[in-house]
A and B are shown apart, each in its own frame.
Chain A
Amino acid sequence: MAILSKEEAQAILKKALGFSKADECEITLSGNNGGNIRYARNEVSTSGAEENVSMAVESRFGKRSGVATINEFDDKSLEKVIRRSEEIARLAPESPEYVELLGPQKYITTKEHFDSTAKIDPAYRADAAAKSIKAAADKGLTAAGFLEHYTRFTAKMNNKGLFAYHPSTVVDFSVTMRTEDGTGSGYVTQDFSDVSKLDTGKASQIAAEKAANSRSAKALEPGKYTVILEPAASIDLLQNMFYNMDQRNAEEGRSFMSKPGGKTKVGEKLVDERITVYSDPTNAEVPSAPFSGDGRPQQKVVWVDKGVVKNLYNSRFWASNKGAVSVPPPSNIIMEGGNQSLEDMIKSTKRGILVTRLWYIRSVDPQTLLYTGLTRDGTFYIENGKIMYPVKNFRFNESPIIMLNNLEALGKPQRISGSLIPPMKIRDFTFTSLSDAV
């Protein structure tokens, strides 16, 4: 029941819409079916499965709107949820940000659903955990890891003629390995739409190697260093930047994209000219839904082209209010890179620090997009093209804007958290103190 086909979803949505007496009505039907397994101290600690289907109905009378949800789909329940949303709408104040619902839309097709992932069962999960634990135990290490997977669908229909349907799958895996004496720690994370690309045993080798090689780290003085940020290290900073390119915040003067006098930085060079970032739901490595949460079509959108800001995203209200092109938030983040592998990038580094992961990243100043956080689970000193020794973790204070201006080199992009990000070599990355944490 949790995962409905396009035809099944369409039939339920049509029936529900038939009960509507509102001026406008839009119904979203979504479901997921998933499972997870968690392990620590080289044994499984918890595992679970969940499934859920739910329907959200928005009814509108004029500029008044009400939302109700339900998870039963017999005729009586469908009528009940429609009526409830209508009652709530009648009592609601008029919205000053009302925009008429979208009519029929043309969506591109994206392939984000893979049978391989939809078929994951408890036996697969146990085996995936066992392979990871074995990689740790073989080297005398202790593993703590987590694997979770989902099969999902989203369908949307309204009384203006819009219909959308998209099925998807995803699997997320991460493991932290620690040496028994607690002086070394390594990490790896991978996520895919197609689980056949995931080998938890092989991935775990990377964490194991980093843990074993990071024993007895040396302390370096904090300061400005050339760093190689693996995609798992840079992803959060980049997401914090690109998911905050909201036009309204920028025009209201409260964003890193704002300029004096209510202007924005669109059209300006913001970062190094080798930086090009776009979204593309059809990308085979990081496929995503062809429509946004409010039903707007998703397609390729360039956010930064050769260092110049090209687009900000907006709400439908803000776009119509400002007479701007309607641009939904990013469907994914794809940063163009080069062909160099991580090893090549290390080889070409005279002095620098390899960073596996950044942790506990918190905003310090939204005006400059300054963030603080720490390196974690594999930080190494590089000299003359070679990893020389592990170093103690650092706290950083850095803005992704400054970071992308101090670019030295880009490697081959790889998938991380649903985005495609290259390893990056950055000069003058600001480390402000040392941490004893392993």
Chain B
Amino acid sequence: MDYKHLADQLDINEEEFSELVALFVTITRADLKKIRQGVSNDNSSQAAAAAHSIKGAAANLGFTQMAALAKKMEALANAGSLDNFDAYILEIETRLEALAVT
């Protein structure tokens, strides 16, 4: 992940960007937990709200793939479907952990 490029995009320095990424990881972990809860309780609106949050935050930092995935999850959840959510959650989680160790 090219942090310098992403930081430049936002007109901030790398250090500031790292702080934002750390915050993003924390928030998104919490949101993923909410999505999991939504899936196990069959509460699609809870899952949709949490996916919406991930979508916005990821898009703002330039993490376009994660944002696209969250957008898809939000749309599905809004339509009442939580199918394949375990796989989506895993994919976001994997990307998130990659960010956390960068």
Partners in one complex: no
